[in-house]
Structure 1
Amino acid sequence: MGLAIDKAIAEAHRGRVELISEPGVGSTFTISIPFRDSMS
């Protein structure tokens, strides 16, 4: 359930969730959310 919530939040902010998984080693989840520099 936690990843579903993370995905919904990321997508609401035009971001994404990526997964890299290796059997017997583990998984890496990356959440990317774009942002603008408010000083520009």
Structure 2
Amino acid sequence: MMRETTFADILEACDRLPLEDQENLINILQIYKIGNGKKTS
């Protein structure tokens, strides 16, 4: 049986990415946040 993926799991996996990929992921998440009408600051 599979368990749910937690935000901590995602952060841990992201930490193993090369720096450029981490920066790209941050940009994607910021765009997603803006697109959903959330505050960015």
Query: TM-score if structure 1 supplies the norm length?
Result: 0.35
- Structure ID, larger Rg: 1
Query: TM-score if structure 2 supplies the norm length?
Result: 0.34
Q: Normalized per residue, which structure has more strand?
A: 1
Q: Normalized per residue, which structure has more helix?
A: 2
